Every structure is written in structure tokens, then in C-alpha cells.
Structure 1
Amino acid sequence: MGAKEKGKRSVPCSKSRHFVQIDLTLSLRAEVPTGDADAGPSKNELKKRQKALEKEKKAAERAAKQQELAAQQAAAEVVRSSRHRLGRLELILDRCRILRQNSTVLCLSTSHRRAPGLPRAQISSFSTLDGQTVLFRARVQTSRAQGNKMVFLNLRQRSDSVQALVTATPEKISKQMVKWTAGLADESIVLVQGLVRKSPEPIKSASVQDVEVHVSQIHLISGIDGRLPFTLEDASRADTDEVIYDADGKPQQFNRVLLDTRLNSRVVDLRTPTNQAVFKLQSAIGDLFRQFLNNNGFLEIHSPKLQGAATESGASVFKVSYFKGSAFLAQSPQLAKQMAIAADFERVYEIGPVFRAEDSNTHRHLTEFMGLDLEMTIEEHYHEVMELLDSLFLSIFRGLREKYSAEIAIVGKQFPADEFKWREGPEGTLKLNFRQAIDMLVEDGVPRETLDDINTENEKRLGRLVKAKYDTDYFIIDKFPMELRPFYTMPDPEDPTLSNSYDFFMRGEEILSGAQRIHDPALLAEKMRSKGVDPDSMKAYLDGFRMGCAPHGGGGIGLERVLMLFLKLNNIRRASLFPRDPKRLDP
């Protein structure tokens, strides 16, 4: 090798089979610093460093992506391996059925496994199931996560609730399951399997306070699409103007859910424990009404709600199109009840809708409500009917107090009220005649000339006077003036200006109107004309009496009004599932 070739070596090139000569001497010289040592790195050196940094950055990004992908794959594997513990249930529920006879489970899908023969449980019974595994469906009322290892749930069935917890464990429950559970929206419906255990201390946020559920499986049945219009916590807050203070003495700020807001989103509002209790009590009143009358020889009937003529007066009926003519929505089953008596049914009752076309936007009026009506034959005196109705109400009041005290207490937490009182024992229910009631109001300062009728304001005033004097929220007024009653009311035989009619009151508001009915067709036609009703327009009704009808009487009760006043809800719309008034037809 010649002198010129010293310091040179040949290396293979990837693009050619020939060798390329690289001057290592020049390369070495480039590494030797020249000039001032403090001049800093050269431009080439900076470029090299920049490229090295970019290379390191890209390598770090690739590593991070690989790590993220690995984590996702691991999470997916956890979900796949524990699919039976969490996730959304299938929409069509025809793949799995418990066969109760032999305590086995017939399943076509393996995505959800249950303990063989495990029955569905009710939260209300959990206090008696300590140490047992339960399967139950509930709503997620609230959830609270503690890191990624534990989440507390408040699960609700109707008005019952229990605390449940999902805790990450190496053997069964993954952190991903805890995270998934914590992400469930409030009011979602879930299917839960878990072990009931005694709680170390009372759980004040739940109705079942002595036990909690340690969740082993949780499945989403139905989620929430959108946002809730208000929280159930806000909707369940006590209806009071009192200021509530926290532990530091500072006033607490709460969202108050107005009645219109509640009614516009009634489905959500009805989920509160208070409303669950209210409508359980409404159902109870209907049940107690039926029980009493069935035990007293009454027959339940179902009358038509489309009629060819108004029951009382055309001003308060809804007129509807009926093929080529018109019809009216029934103001009450009054005509049908009386015709049933003429047909020798003797004692009948009905629970059904009543329609009133009155533009009354008050706390106690609805355009459609549920009527509890009855009619019965009279043997000697119309007080037979009044006394039976009194016994009916006392039976309902006692039944509510004895069997539904828990529901009454739940409602009382949101709507605080004095306990409803009535008189028992030998003295019995307070009974006043109309003139006695007027005298009480006059003695209290109401001008007598303004008391041709007892209006709503004076009804409440009379209720306060009666409560103060007789210590009762329930009383009866008898012998109303004839001019105040409908055409079918029987006049008093001794004073034709009065009628054999009566009203019942709760907390100073009317909840029943009743009377002896006119069963003589000639007198009935006469009274119809005096009230501006053409007898020919109600020929079918009159014909029933022309063929003979026993003396009879009855009364009509407003279900929602009884419920409102017993619980003191202050507005009848709170006692109606989906109220109808002059301004509301939805929902």
C-alpha cells in the first residue's frame, strides 16, 4: 500500500458491490477542536444533537403508544375474562330463565351467569338476610368512588334503599370493574348480585341501615340518555321555608324544585321516596273503600263516561264530537248509579274518572279526577246513607293509620303536618247542620248576609273553628239549602227550602257531597225544569223512575282530595299521578 493510501480503508456500500474509500484521516481531523476552545459546538454538532433528540423523542412516543396499547389489551382481557361480573345486559330478555321447580338456570347466553336457583330479592327484606347472597334489580341513586379501589352505591327500589360497595380484590374484582361501576349514571337501572353483611355502623343515607351489600356482579339494564331535569335529592327535600345550617353555622344553599318543574318531568319526580309512598297510600284508600263496601253488600259497577246529556248543568261539562253529533264526558256516575238502583241492584259503588269543565285554577280543583261513588236503597231515613258513609271514612282512616304508618312517616318528612285527627268512641263524628255551621262563622265575625253559601275561604275558617273547639279534623254538615243542590236532591219534607243532603269535611275542606235522591218521576221532572234542565233531554233517565224505583241516596268522594288533605300535601296535583287542570294536558 502506497503512502497516499495510508489512513484509508475500504467499506462495503449497501447500494453497490464496489468499495467506497472513506478518508478516516479527515474524519479524525474533524473531531479535533481548532481555534478558541470557548467558541461552543459547531453548527454540524448542533444538528447532530437535534437529530439525536428527535430520535429519542420518537422512540419515547413509540414506547408510550406500545405501553398504552398493552394496557388497553390488558383491560380488554380483564373485561373478557370477567364478562359475567359486569357490563350491559342484552336488550331482549328471552335467553335466560330460572326454573324454580329444580332450582336450575336455563341460559342460552354465557355473558351473564347466576348462582343456580338464586331468586330475585327485595331490598326491604335485606335486614333478615345477613350472610346470604342476593340478586336484585335497583336504580343507582348515588355513587361515590374512593380512588380506583372502591366505590359506594346507594341502590333504590321504590322507597327502599341500601348501601352497596364494589371493592377491588386480586381474586375477583378488578380495578377496571370498580372504574366501570363508578361511571354508572345516577338513575341507571342495574342488576346486582352480592353478599349481604352487617354494616359496622348505621347507614343514615339508606332506608335499610343495618346491612350493606358487597357486590360480586353488576350489570347495566338501562342507562340514562341525556341529563336528569333535577336530582332526586333536591326533589326529596323537606317542603319548608326554614333555613338549614351546616356544622359551621352557615346557611346551606339548596336547589328548590318547583311544582311545575316536577309535573313537567313527572316520571322522574314520581321516583322520589315521598311520591312512592303517596301513591301507595292512594292505592290503599281505593282498596279500603272496596273492602268496606264489599263487606257491606255492595256491588261494583262500571258506568259509561260518554253521555248524551249533562248530568247537572251544561256549563261544567266537556262537549266532544261523537260521529255526526255530540256527546258529553260524564261529570259523575250519578245517573248510572240511580238507574242501577231502579234495576234492583240495591247497593252499588264505582271507582272511575270524573270530568269537570270548570276553569278553576286552585289548589284543590282538577278537570279530571278519580271519583269514589256509591248509591244504596233507604229503608226508613236518609241518615242511613250518611251514617254508612261516616263508617266508611272511619274505616279508611283507621286502615291507613294501622297498616301504612311507615308510608305516612315518609311523606311527613317532606311535608311536615299535624297528625290527622278524628273522633272515636261514644261521641262519634261531629255532625252540624248548615245553620249551626253558619252560626259558628257569624260568632267568629263573618257577616251573616255573606253566608248564603259557605265558600272555600269560610270552609277553611270553619275547619279551624271546629278543630279549636272539638279537636277534630273530620266533621259532617247536614241539611244544606235546596237552592245550593242539584236537581235530583230530595227536599226536606218539613222545610222545602232545605234538602236531605250533607257534605263531609277534612281539615276544613269538602271531600264528599251526597244526599237522598228524588225517586218520584213527577217531582224529579219538576225540579229539573226549576234548574233549567229539559226533562225530554234526559228521557232514558226519567223512564227508569217511571217504572218504579226504591227510595235511595248516596255520595261522591274525590280520591285525590281525600289523599291531599289526610297527608296535608297543600296541592291536589301532588296527589294526582298525571294531573289534568285547565292549563295542563301533558304529560
Structure 2
Amino acid sequence: MAEQNAVPVEASQSLPERPKDDASAAEDGKKGPSKNELKKLAKEKAKAEKAAKIKAEEEARKKEADANDVSKADYGELPMLGSQPYTAPETKVERVSLAQLADKYSTTEPDENADIVFRAEVENARNQSAKLAFLVFRQGLSTIQAVVAASDTLSRQMVKFSGSIPSESVVLVTANVKKPFEPVKSTTIQNLEVHVKKLFIVAKADAQLPMQVADAERPIPAEGQEEQQADDGKPIVTLNTRLNNRVIDLRGKHNHAIFRIKDGITLLFQEFLRSKGFMGANTPRLLGAPSEGGASVFEVSYFATKAFLAQSPQLYKQMLIAARFERVMEVGPIFRAENSNTARHLTEFTGLDMEMAFEEDYHEVVTMLEELMLFIFNGLRERYKKESDLVRSIYQVEDFKLPEAGKVPRLHFKEGIQMLRDDGVEIGDFDDLSTPDEKRLGALVLKKYGSDFYVLDQFPLAIRPFYTMPSAETQAAYDPKNPNAGYSNSYDFFMRGQEIMSGAQRIHDAAFLEKRMREHVTPVDSKSDGLRDYVNAFRYGCPPHAGGGIGLERIVMLWLGLPNVRLASLFPRDPSRLLP
């Protein structure tokens, strides 16, 4: 019976297994970490614990060091000025400038208690060691070396902080003035250095600047060349890059020198003319209609109509002469809508203008202008020698050669043409001078007369504006079939072979002025909105007068030998630049 009831092995293996519950199935599918994985996890945990312990120890040490930092009240980053109420100190600490410091100790040595307080920019900072840092502070054109040395009263933490201040940061410094062991050749103040006692950041600069100030203090690449490297491997940054980052670029010491000179020229211009009885004037820059032909004017919206930016104050200067202001001058912006992308043209520049009545001959005005320019040049030599030498040292330019007073080379236009012809230039009697012709003539004048400054007189009538007085000889030989033939009572002034001023005797008779307006190479309508009031001003009696307009940026460029006039404009405007 037993054998009958037994189940065959094969049959039992084929029977279906009893289903397991979900928990049992999950337990069977779960696998624990391997021994290697467990070891790796243990190592990572130990590593993290060790790092946390080291960090905690470092923080503890730092906390202890900070607590024991003898200089903790003498350095750091100040809160933004204006973010907290201001309380005036009981004792006002007088701050000094580096220039004053240099003057004070130019002939004497500082004493042991010569402590000073000043604000400056950090030109560079470096840690020499854990106990010593060197910085260079800058104010305008002045730089001085600073020493931060660890001692019983100055901590290593302060040394480390000082050497890590980003360049161009503004700092407030308390220091002791010392005489260095040997002159510091890398700074402008070489016979002094300051030993820092307190150092606070007033305004921190970004660690990464779009360009370095030191790069801005190098010559720009030659025209047409891309960014390149100097012989020392340092970059020579293109003019375009500099102008795109103009605020940093302008921090260069040579740029401060350029614009001090520019301001000085304006000062000298006004100083001389005021001494000769000239009055300052301010004429409109918004015009209701183009006044001098209209070809090179900017049109702007003006309420429900349109207006134009003035090309010059020329017509208004003459109207002031007619109004009995017989000697007027003006310093103001000039706008020229000329698509000239040269190294000497801008669409907005500063004009130095003058106009004066004369007694007998327009050369009275030419002489006045020559004396004016010599006064400016000699003033720059005497008052701005330091700035001029600094800029010329970068561009390797020779000093500007001046004639003696009363001996300014004054050439008739045809004499200048003959000098060019004698030098092999093919040019017509009445052709206007191209830029290469001007430069070539300037070189010939320099060689013959030893002067970088000269005057070209009696320009051809056909190439001057409609209000220019024809010369007496031209009027005597007047031909109605060729009314623009001959010469005129007009003149240009040149520096280093480039024109800086254009001027002339103006027509002061209304009837003759209308005649010349009709006959001019490019005739204009004397009854147009832009010219009607101007012409009428001469119907009421106007004395003979002459004057000129000087380009301020041109003088700066040519006095210093700059390769591009844009370097003489704070934020230049040309056909492709309206920003920044």
C-alpha cells in the first residue's frame, strides 16, 4: 500500500511552488554592501571627520589669533560711506596729499614723529613674507612706496591683509614718513616712503579688471595694427579697447597729465585774451536752420520741429562785433557731421574762438593770434613741463620747437606752394593742401626756420567760406566770369605740419556780403532762415573785423606728439563712437 501511495520523484519536482508573500520576496532580493564598499565608506567617514576636525581647529586658531590680534582695530574694510549716520570727530585730523608731502620734504628729512593721514589708490600690493608687505599708493601723478612690517604693535594678520588688497582699491592710510635706505626708483616720490600704522579699505576694487592701468600707460599700437606685445612681453592694448574701458584708461598717470595740459591751454587762452580786453561769450549750439552751407550739420528733434547743432560760433561772433562787443572770445563744443575716420578728426570737439575789430589791416589780428599762441606754448613750457615730459616719454616725441617772439614764420600761400614744388611735389597754384602736403610743408618750414609753429597767409578765395574777404589785389582784378579767382585775407596756423586754426578777415559790408554769397563756389541764400539775421546785422554799421577758431584737442595732440586726437578727448565722439 505504501508503494502504491508513494509519489514519484519526477512528479514532485513538477509540482508548482507555494507563492511567497511580498516581504519574503523582497528579503530574498536584497543584497548587502560588499566588504570593499564597507571599507570605502569607513574611509570616507574618517576623512570627513578629520577634515571637520582640521577646520574646527583652524577656526579655533583663527578665533584665538583674532582675539590676540594687536592690530585688529587698525585695519579692515570700512562700511560704505553714507550707509551710517555721520558723527564729526572731536579732533579733526588733517589729511595731506602726496604732492604736499613731496614738497615739504624736498630739502629736509622727516623727523621720527612725522605721522600723516591720507587717502589714496593702491597701485599694487604684494606680500614679501609673512612679516612684510610692500604697496605703492597713488594720488594723481604722485606715487609713493609703503611698507607694512610685523612688530610688537603690528600683527602678521595686518601684513597679510595689506598685501592682498586688490589693485585700484581706495584706502585710508595712517603712516609714518621715513627716508628709504636708497631711492625708490619705481615711484615718483623717490626720497621718501611711508611705514603704515593703520590701513582701511574705503572702496574695494574687483580683483579682475577688464584692463590694467599699467597697460594704459603704454603707447597705443601703430595705426592699423591689432593688439600686440611689447619687447618685455607685456600687452599693448588697442585704442578701441582703451576707449571701451575709458574710466580705467583715464586712471593712467599720463592721461591725468594730458588733461591737466588741456585744461591749462584753456586757462592760458582766456588769460591772454582777457589781458587784451576780450570778453567771454556763450553763443547758441541749437540752430533753427543750417547756417554755413548745411552739408556737415547734425539734425536733432526740437519739440514739434527740428533743429541743428552748430558747426561753429562763427556767425554769432560776427553779430556780436556788430553789436559793439569789439573783442569777444568763447570756449565751447563744436559739432561736425563729417564722416572722417582719421587720427585727427572728431565729430564733437572743443573750439577756442576769438573775434576782434581791427583798425587798419587784418594782420593786426594775425599778430594778436601769433602772440596768443606763443603765450600758450611758453605757458605750457613753464607751468606744465612735468606733465609734458611725462607724456612725451611714453611716445618718444621731441620737444616742440618754438620761434622767437615776433619771428613766427608767416608765409604767403604761393610761397608755401613754391616750397613744396621745390621739394618735388606736383601741385597747382590754387590747390588746397592735402594732409600729406601740410605735413611735408611743416617739415620744410622746420628745416628752414627751426620752428614747429608757422602761419600760412592769403589762401585762395575759392577754398574759403563765403564770408571771407577777398584780398585787395583780388578785388582790383575782379572778373565777373571768374568771381572766385585769386587770394583772400585768410590764414591757417600750423603745429608740427598740421592745421590747428583757421581764420580770416570777414566781410563787414552787407551788400558786398550778399554779392559774395551769390557768387561763391557753393552759393547760399542770404534771405534763408539761417542767414537772414546774420546779413541784416551788417546793415546797421559794423567795424572791420577778423578772428579764428582753434581746435583745442588738436593743440593738445600736436604739443605732446600724440598719435591720435582721440587721446586728447575725455570721451571722444567720432562717426563710429557714441559710448561711453
Q: TM-score of the superposition, structure 2-length normalised?
A: 0.84
Aligned to 2:578: 585
Deviation at 1:267, TM superposition (A): 0.7
Aligned length: 514
Q: State yes or no: 1:227 paired with 2:220.
A: no
Moved more, 224-233 or 204-213: 224-233
1:435 aligns to what SS in structure 2?
Answer: helix
Mapping for residues 27-46 of structure 1, pairs under 5 Å: none
Moved more, 321-330 or 361-370: 321-330
2:236 aligns to what SS in structure 1?
Answer: coil
Mapping for residues 481-500 of structure 1, pairs under 5 Å: 481-496=460-475, 497-500=486-489
1:278 aligns to what SS in structure 2?
Answer: helix
Aligned to 2:507: 518
Q: Work out the percentage of aligned pairs sharing the same amino acid.
A: 47
Mapping for residues 123-202 of structure 1, pairs under 5 Å: 123-127=98-102, 128-129=104-105, 130-131=110-111, 132-171=114-153, 173-202=154-183
Matched residue type, 1:432: L
Q: Distance in 2 between matches of 1:445 and 1:56?
A: 90
Equivalent of 1:216, from 189, 194, 197?
197
Equivalent of 2:527, from 533, 536, 550?
536
Aligned to 1:31: none
Distance 1:545-1:57 versus aligned 2 partners, 3 A rule: closer
Matched residue type, 2:458: K
Aligned to 1:310: 290
1:141 aligns to what SS in structure 2?
Answer: strand
Q: Structure 1: state its 5+ residue gaps.
A: 1-48, 99-104, 107-115, 242-249
Q: Distance in 2 between matches of 1:65 and 1:260?
A: 48
Q: Distance in 1 between matches of 2:48 and 2:577?
A: 65
1:154-183 deviation per Cα after TM superposition (whole angstroms, max 9, x unaligned): 111111100011112222x21111112222
Matched residue type, 1:289: F
Equivalent of 2:81, from 66, 91, 94?
91
Q: Distance in 1 between matches of 2:49 and 2:463?
A: 95
1:55-100 deviation per Cα after TM superposition (whole angstroms, max 9, x unaligned): 99898667534422312322443579723433224331775576xx
Aligned to 1:64: 54
Q: Distance in 2 between matches of 1:457 and 1:57?
A: 76
Q: Distance in 1 between matches of 2:51 and 2:299?
A: 76
2:215 aligns to what SS in structure 1?
Answer: helix
Equivalent of 2:261, from 268, 277, 281?
281
Q: What value does the CA root-mean-square deviation take over the aligned residues?
A: 2.5
Q: State yes or no: 1:470 paired with 2:449.
A: yes
Aligned to 2:30: none
Matched residue type, 1:577: L
Q: Distance in 1 between matches of 2:129 and 2:371?
A: 60
Deviation at 1:493, TM superposition (A): 1.9
Matched residue type, 1:144: R
Q: State yes or no: 1:82 paired with 2:64.
A: no
**Contact 2:351–2:552 (Cα < 8 Å) also in 1:** yes
**Contact 1:239–1:414 (Cα < 8 Å) also in 2:** no
**Contact 2:71–2:155 (Cα < 8 Å) also in 1:** no
Q: Distance in 2 between matches of 1:377 and 1:269?
A: 44
Aligned to 2:543: 550
Distance 1:198-1:93 versus aligned 2 partners, 3 A rule: farther
**Contact 1:118–1:134 (Cα < 8 Å) also in 2:** no
Deviation at 1:51, TM superposition (A): 13
1:316 aligns to what SS in structure 2?
Answer: coil
Mapping for residues 199-278 of structure 1, pairs under 5 Å: 199-225=180-206, 227-238=208-219, 252-278=232-258
Matched residue type, 1:336: Y
Matched residue type, 2:243: L
1:125 aligns to what SS in structure 2?
Answer: helix
1:280-332 deviation per Cα after TM superposition (whole angstroms, max 9, x unaligned): 10010000001001111000001110012223221111111222222110000
Moved more, 439-448 or 504-513: 439-448
Equivalent of 1:434, from 413, 426, 433?
413
Distance 1:484-1:68 versus aligned 2 partners, 3 A rule: same
Deviation at 1:448, TM superposition (A): 3.1
Q: Distance in 2 between matches of 1:520 and 1:314?
A: 23
Moved more, 575-584 or 523-532: 523-532
Q: Distance in 2 between matches of 1:54 and 1:536?
A: 94
Distance 1:576-1:307 versus aligned 2 partners, 3 A rule: same
**Contact 2:71–2:158 (Cα < 8 Å) also in 1:** no
Aligned to 1:117: 92
Q: Distance in 2 between matches of 1:564 and 1:57?
A: 66
Distance 1:516-1:169 versus aligned 2 partners, 3 A rule: same
Q: Structure 2: state its 5+ residue gaps.
A: 1-38, 223-229, 476-485
Mapping for residues 373-388 of structure 1, pairs under 5 Å: 373-388=353-368
1:238-276 deviation per Cα after TM superposition (whole angstroms, max 9, x unaligned): 5689xxxxxxxx953121111111111111111111111
Aligned to 2:393: 413
Deviation at 1:125, TM superposition (A): 2.4
1:494 aligns to what SS in structure 2?
Answer: helix
Aligned to 1:332: 312
**Contact 2:414–2:429 (Cα < 8 Å) also in 1:** no
1:373-413 deviation per Cα after TM superposition (whole angstroms, max 9, x unaligned): 00011111101111000000000000000111111111111
Q: Distance in 1 between matches of 2:207 and 2:554?
A: 35
Aligned to 1:22: none
**Contact 1:89–1:220 (Cα < 8 Å) also in 2:** no
Q: Distance in 1 between matches of 2:66 and 2:243?
A: 43
